């Protein structure tokens, strides 16, 4: 029996969620944990979410899927011992040495005493401790709340409350991708004004001199360009662009063609590439300007 078309569509449309959830939770695990293993577990979680999703409950699929993906990754960690044997041996030796010294001395041994007992220097001991600590994967129901505080387990803190949901990150990146394409597809003079004014900090007077027009014309071009950008990007979310051949009127066809060009300018994969938000958009202001 084939996979339901709706299920397959949900899986394909939300594959980027797996990568973002893996990135979100991987920082809590040792460096030697294979991210590919986490991604495979997350992909299985996405499939399960797509199969179990009930639209009638009113929960957006992206949010439901993100939780299932995260849960599948954490379940895979429960079932695995990520630490290599060499690290386990170091941990056992360190623990036995500390216990032996504690029994002999009657108190917790100092770092220097442990290092001397293991016949290594303090710097080497600190490196061993660091490797051991990074290899420890606590039980996910481990209580991490302060004493006398409300119940709080490790699994509760893996999801960062101050960070956006993976679905929100993807949506933001997609919108920025549409914006990049929309700016590049503006008519040349409109693009020059938008890039110059908003991204390069040029004044209306500088742009007016550059284009050989008045400042009032620059203001008009800026307003027109902003309307084009707003309508062109909104069309990507309001049912998709309209075929220019299906509309009447020169202005309506021009808007429809612009919206269609934005939709076809790049694939969804290219749109969600995580570019540096602080890096200015690179547009050659001199192309086609006479």
CA distances (Å), origin 134, targets 2, 25, 157, 176, 257? 43, 15, 17, 36, 55
Whether the CA torsion 23, 27, 32, 37 is positive or negative: it is negative
pLDDT reported for residue 167: 65
- Total residue count of the chain as it appears in this document: 290
Show the domains of the chain with their CATH numbers.
Answer: 5-78 (1.10.1740.10), 85-136 (1.10.10), 166-271 (no CATH)
pLDDT reported for residue 252: 87
| pTM for the structure as a whole | 0.42
Q: Give me the residues of the chain with pLDDT under 50, please.
A: 1-2, 138-140, 148, 276-280, 282-290
How far apart CA 70 and CA 68 sit, in angstroms, is 5
The number of angstroms, rounded, from the C-alpha of 52 to the middle of its chain's C-alpha atoms is 24
SS3 content of the chain, % helix, strand, coil (to 5): 65, 0, 35
pLDDT reported for residue 284: 44
pLDDT reported for residue 139: 47
* DSSP-assigned letter for residue 249: S
pLDDT reported for residue 136: 53
Q: How many CB atoms lie within 10 A of CB 149?
A: 9
CA distances (Å), origin 117, targets 92, 98, 122? 14, 9, 11
* DSSP-assigned letter for residue 196: I
pLDDT reported for residue 266: 84
How far apart CA 211 and CA 198 sit, in angstroms, is 16
How far apart CA 152 and CA 36 sit, in angstroms, is 29
How far apart CA 249 and CA 226 sit, in angstroms, is 21
Query: How many CA atoms are closer than 13 Å to the CA of 268, on its beta-carbon side?
Result: 8
Pick from 265, 245, 238: nearest CA to 182:
265
The number of angstroms, rounded, from the C-alpha of 222 to the middle of its chain's C-alpha atoms is 32
DSSP, collapsed to helix, strand or coil, labels residue 269 as helix
How far apart CA 209 and CA 215 sit, in angstroms, is 9
DSSP, collapsed to helix, strand or coil, labels residue 27 as coil
In which residue are the tokens 């902003």 written?
Answer: 226
Q: What is the pLDDT of residues 7-34, one digit of tens each?
A: 888 888 888 888 888 887 776 665 556 7
How far apart CA 46 and CA 52 sit, in angstroms, is 10
How far apart CA 89 and CA 111 sit, in angstroms, is 19
């Amino acid at each position: 029996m084939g996979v339901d078309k709706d299920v397959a569509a949900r899986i394909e449309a939300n594959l980027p969620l797996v990568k973002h959830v893996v990135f979100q939770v991987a920082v809590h695990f040792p460096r030697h944990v294979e991210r590919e293993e986490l991604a495979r577990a997350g992909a299985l979680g996405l499939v399960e979410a797509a199969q179990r999703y009930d639209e009638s409950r009113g929960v957006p699929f992206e949010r439901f899927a993100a939780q299932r993906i995260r849960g599948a990754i954490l379940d895979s960690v429960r079932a695995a011992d990520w630490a290599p044997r060499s690290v386990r041996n170091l941990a056992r030796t360190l623990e036995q040495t500390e216990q032996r010294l504690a029994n002999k001395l009657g108190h917790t041994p100092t770092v220097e005493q442990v290092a001397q007992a293991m016949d290594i220097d303090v710097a080497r001991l600190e490196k061993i401790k660091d490797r051991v600590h990074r290899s420890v994967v606590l039980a996910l129901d481990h209580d991490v709340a302060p004493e006398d505080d409300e119940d709080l387990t490790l699994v509760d803190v893996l999801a960062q409350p101050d960070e956006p949901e993976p679905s929100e990150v993807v949506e933001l990146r997609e919108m920025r991708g549409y914006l990049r394409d929309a700016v590049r597809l503006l008519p040349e003079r409109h693009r020059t004004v938008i890039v110059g004014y908003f991204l390069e900090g040029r004044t209306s007077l500088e742009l007016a001199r550059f284009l050989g027009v008045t400042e009032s014309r620059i203001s008009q071009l800026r307003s027109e360009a902003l309307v084009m950008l707003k309508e062109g990007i909104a069309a990507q979310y309001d049912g998709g662009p309209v075929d220019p051949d299906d509309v009447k009127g020169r202005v309506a066809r021009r808007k429809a063609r612009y919206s269609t060009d934005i939709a076809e300018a790049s694939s969804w994969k290219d749109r969600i590439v995580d570019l540096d938000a602080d890096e200015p958009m690179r547009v050659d202001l001199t192309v086609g300007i006479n």
